[in-house]
Every structure is written in structure tokens, then in C-alpha cells.
Amino acid sequence: MDLGISGRTAIVCAASRGLGRGCAEALADAGVNLVINARSSDVLEETAEEIRSSYGVEVTTVVGDITAEADRARVIEAAPDADILVTNAGGPPPGLWSDWGRDDFIRALDSNMLTPIALMQALLPGMCERGWGRVVNITSQSVKSPIPALGLSNSARAGLTGFVGGTSRQVASKGVVINNLLPGIHATDRANALDGNAAKSEGLSVEQVRARRAGSIPVGRYGTAKEFGATCAFLCSIHAGYMIGQNILLDGGTFNATL
């Protein structure tokens, strides 16, 4: 399928590895020029070079913490007229509901709610003026089905989901489409780290932990960044113009509901 976005420009945040990289690659495959961001320069530059040589698109790198205002401003400055925005950042740490104080909540809100909102506030006016734009926010399955140990993430991502629900409908008539993509378990460095931690604390091998988690997913395996990226690229395509403010779950069937 021709996604109809060749020659457009996308900002993809937190994109040197994992799901962000999957989205960047799928957009590059559709002919989209990229601004990609991450905190570690070496991995980011390596990823950029691999994408350039595989897909022949322009890739600009901006090293920095997307949750920090000054770094975020440099990311926006690299493509102030971006047609496509994919928001992403690391998730907050796990814990118990009684562990967290105000500062922990402010950090989580900054990372997983206020940062994507600030990025949208910076780029939506131009998209509306030009009459075309696409935004995909990478959130989590925890928006639909809370993960008890991830209370900070559950809270912050719920706030972002509420903002998108209203804002997506306010900009829809301008040709701007905003949706959220909700990953279930995907085979990324983050999933590997979580498996490693669980293996250590339970005295199991990483393979045993992984097999148990995969067994809890109806598909019987983890998702891939490539599958995730392909869905993201579709949401950024010309074909997604009638999908407004949706929360698309990619979890291999884990969330058990008729609707």
C-alpha cells in the first residue's frame, strides 16, 4: 500500500532503539525524512546512518533529553514545520502506591504527559495552518488495563489520553489527525531489562521468565518493533484521515474484552 507520505518530514522522539526506532524506520520506508532524538549520541548516530543507507531519506539527529525544555526546543527547531510527530520517552520506574511523593509524580507527568503535550502545542498550529498533520503518541497498554507496579505511568499516561481525546477533535477539521498507540509487551531493550530483573529476583533464567510472559499473551510471543512501526506509519498515512482520537492497542490479544 502506498502510504502517500513520501517527501513529508517527521519528528520521532526517543528513536535510537526500540519502539521509537521501529516507527522511524517504517516512516523512512514510506519515504519520510526524519528528525530523530535520543540522549546517547553514539547509538543515535549509528541508527541514523543505518536508516539513511537502508531507505535513502534525510535523517537529522538531535541528542538530548526530550523531557528537558531546552533539549526539546532544539528538537522542534530542527523541523519546526514537521508534518508528522511521534512522541515517545522512557517510562517511569515501578514501585508501590505508597512510595511516591509529589516530586515523583511531577517527574512522571513531565515525561509521559507534559512533554508530548508541549510537543503538540509547538507543532499543531503549523499543521493546522497548512491543513495537514499526523501525531502518534506512544503510550502503553496500561492506559486500558492498569499495571499495579506502574502507578506513575498509569497516572501520567491517563492524563495524556484525556488531553488527546479532546484536542484531537478540536483539530480534526484542519486535516490534523492525532491518535495514541498502546504497546503491550514488545521485544525491546526495555522488555529485556524487565525480564532480567524478574529472573534475578525470582531465581529463574531469563529464558524461563520470557517463556512465561510470552505464554500469557494469546499470540504466544512478544510483539516486534517492526510490527509496531508499521501500525504507526499507517496512522501517519493519507489513509488514516478518518481515525480521530483513537487508542490503538497492540498487545497480541492480552487485553481480554469483547469490545
Residue nearest to ligand NAP (CB): 18
Q: Are 83 and 238 in contact (CB under 8 A)?
A: no
In the bound state with ligand NAP, the residue whose beta carbon lies nearer, of 5 and 181, is 181
Least distance CB 64 / ligand NAP (angstroms)? 7
Given 33, 88, 167, 237, the residue binding ligand NAP (CB under 6 A): 88
Nearest to 85 by CA among 9, 173, 169, 4: 9
Site for ligand NAP in 18-47 (CB under 6 A): 18-20, 37-40, 43
Given 33, 67, 137, 167, the residue binding ligand NAP (CB under 6 A): 67
Q: Are strands 84-87 and 59-63 parallel, antiparallel or unpaired?
A: unpaired
SS3 134: strand
Given 138, 164, 178, 249, the residue binding ligand NAP (CB under 6 A): 138
Q: What is the dihedral of CA 177, 153, 12, 194, to 10 degrees?
A: -140
In the bound state with ligand NAP, the residue whose beta carbon lies nearer, of 91 and 133, is 91
If binding is defined by CB under 6 A, does position 154 make contact with ligand NAP? no
In the bound state with ligand NAP, the residue whose beta carbon lies nearer, of 15 and 124, is 15
The DSSP output letter for 173 is G
Q: Are 37 and 59 in contact (CB under 8 A)?
A: no
If binding is defined by CB under 6 A, does position 188 make contact with ligand NAP? yes
Nearest to 210 by CA among 224, 225, 193: 193
If binding is defined by CB under 6 A, does position 16 make contact with ligand NAP? yes
Is the dihedral angle over the CA atoms 10, 13, 15, 21 positive or is it negative? negative
Binding residues (CB under 6 A) for ligand NAP: these are 14-20, 37-40, 43, 65-67, 88-91, 138, 140-141, 183, 185-186, 188-191
